[in-house]
Each structure stands twice: as C-alpha cells, then as structure tokens.
Chain A
Amino acid sequence: MKTIDPTSPNLELLRQGDTDAFADLVRHHQTLILALAQSMGFTGADLDDAAMEVFSAVFLALPKFEGRSTLQTWLYRIAIRTLGRLRQQRKREPALRVDEQTPEPARPAPSTRLEEAERRQKLWEAVASLDSRSAAAVELFYRQGWSISQIGGVLECPEGTVKTLLHRAREQLRQIVRPEECSP
C-alpha cells in the first residue's frame, strides 16, 4: 500500500499522479480548503464543487510544482486563486444557510440565543462579502490562527500588505457589524 506522510509528502508520487498519494493530500488539506470556500460565501453543493475545483487544479498543476515554496503554501495559493476565480465567474451572492448555527453550550435565554445566532450569521455574511484576498486573510488569521507572515506567504505579499488587508477588512466588518454588537 503506497501512502504518504502528509507532513513530508512524497512529491514524486504526487507528481506522477499516484491515486493514494493524492487522496492523502486531499484528506490532509480538505478541511482548510472547505473553510476557505465557506468564508468566501460558498455553501451547500457549491461548497463541495468549489473544493473539487481546487483539488482538480492542484492535481493538474502538481507536475509543475517546482518546490520553491512548501507544498502547503503552494496548495493554498492555488486554492485562493481558484476560489477567487470561481467567485468571479459565478458572481456569487453570499447566501448562508440557517443550518450552520453554532450549538450553544451555555444555553442562555431563547431571545439571547436568537440574537447571538443572528449576529453570527451577519458576521459570516459580512466576511463572505469581502473580496477574495481579504476573506482569505480573515479566515486564516481569525479562524485558523495563522501568523501574518504565514498569510503573507500564501497571499504572495509582504507582511505589511497583509496587515493592511486585515485592517481594511476589520473596518468593513466593523461598519457592517455595529460596534455595540462586538461586546460579548
């Protein structure tokens, strides 16, 4: 059985189009790719299709991977570009689903829960309304906990640009989600 360690993938197998190696690669990165697509406003079947497009692009591009960056950075670059292109092509209108509500661990009063759910929904829609790079930066920074320099590597820009992207995104989100809603 040919398998690869996702932290040190066998590039030769991947370049040769090895099925198992590619399946391992997908398994290792699919969660983040789906999260990125989700933050860019893809939902339901569109979300699966977007992830499929990303990995299809990766599969086609693997023979051309030159190793000038890590495989992970390279893969996420392709993901952000592919998702951005798909978003442009389909002129997506962010439409999030109600079934994505977060379970409430503390079970506060129903009205409070409803308000919180509405606030979250508003925030997710606001993130999805950002441009692709900003939405990706917000996803990687706030949700995935990446550092500015890691994000810069994926977005192919200096750290200062990432900070600017995040700053602008924050201002946009602040305008959409009113400041009084930011308190816990």
Chain B
Amino acid sequence: MNDLNPDDELDRWLSRELSARPLPAAPHDLAARARALSERGSDGAIDQLMLRWNWALRIQLLAGLVLAGIAVAIIPMIFSSTATESATLIADEIATETSGLDLSNSLLLAGAIFVGTLLFWCIERAMASDDRACRIGQIGSV
C-alpha cells in the first residue's frame, strides 16, 4: 500500500474515484505496431516535416531558400567561363554598378553560401533518420 493519509478526506476521495476509473482496453497488436514504428526509422521526410513544422523550421527553410536562390543566380555570372551573353551583360551591369566584385563582395557571397549551406544542413539534421533514435537514446541511457 502507498503512503496515503487515511484521515484526509480528499486523499480518500481521490484514491477511491481514480482507482474506480475504467482502464482503457489495450490494442492487441501494440507490440508489433511499436516495433514497426521504431523499425521504420524516423518516418518519411514528409511525416518528419509535418511533425516538426514549427516557426524555427519555417524561418530556417525560408532563409535557406532565399540564400540558395541568390547563390544560384549569382554564381554562374561570376564563375562560369561559358556564361551566356545575357548573363555576361548582367554581370557587366552589376560590375559597373558595384565597381566590380572586389574582395569584400566575394567574401560576402562566400559567407552567404556558407550560411545557406549551414541552414540546409541544420534542416537536414532535424529531419535525419537518426535524430529520433538519438533523442530517444538520450532518455534511454539510465
């Protein structure tokens, strides 16, 4: 028996009422379903996205997409030796307006690409299949 105070009316009432509550019926295939869930790894990417679709992830995803878009638009103009004429014209225009891509601009671009990659890496980590197992592993190391 536990440490219930028999003289306390609320204690007695809680014990009586809560122990009289019907227990839910256990599903017959609980073990198989639980095993299947754990063996499935970490669900599909869509499941994970839905599960973790919070504001932090939305901001990360948006920022990553914007930076990736900038990188995709600018990189060919700067580094491709086979850039099209129009791309060259745009590059020339950018170069004229910004007085050329100096070292600081290049560093800025490299930084943007790095941050974009890092953000995507964070998202990928959040959705990685081993993430769930890691989280569970932390609570399981008792």
Contact = CB atoms under 8 A, between A and B. Distances in A.
Interface in A14-34: 19, 22-23, 25-27, 30-31, 34
B37 to A, nearest CB: 4
Contacts of A170: 10-11, 14
Contact of B142 (A56, A69, A141, A146): A69
A89 B51 CA distance: 8
A145 B2 CA distance: 5
Contact of B18 (A34, A56, A127, A174): A127
B34 A56 contact: yes
B7 interface: no
Classify the secondary structure of A's interface with B: helix
B56 interface: no
B61 to A, nearest CB: 19
A53 B35 CA distance: 10
A5 interface: no
Contacts of B133: 60
Contact of B35 (A19, A61, A141, A147): A19
Contacts of B24: 34-35, 38, 47
Nearest to A47: B24
B30 A52 contact: yes
Given A57-B136, A61-B136, A148-B3, A52 B33 contact: yes
Interface of A: 19, 22-23, 25-27, 30-31, 34-35, 38, 47-48, 51-62, 64-66, 68-69, 73-74, 77-78, 81-82, 89, 100, 102, 119-120, 123-124, 127, 138-139, 141-143, 145-148, 150, 170, 173-174, 179, 182-184
Interface of B: 1-4, 9-11, 13-24, 26-27, 30-35, 37-38, 51, 132-133, 136-137, 139-142
Given A55-B31, A59-B38, 18 more contacts: A23-B32, A26-B34, A30-B30, A38-B24, A47-B24, A48-B30, A51-B26, A51-B27, A65-B140, A65-B142, A77-B142, A102-B21, A119-B17, A139-B18, A142-B15, A142-B18, A145-B19, A174-B10
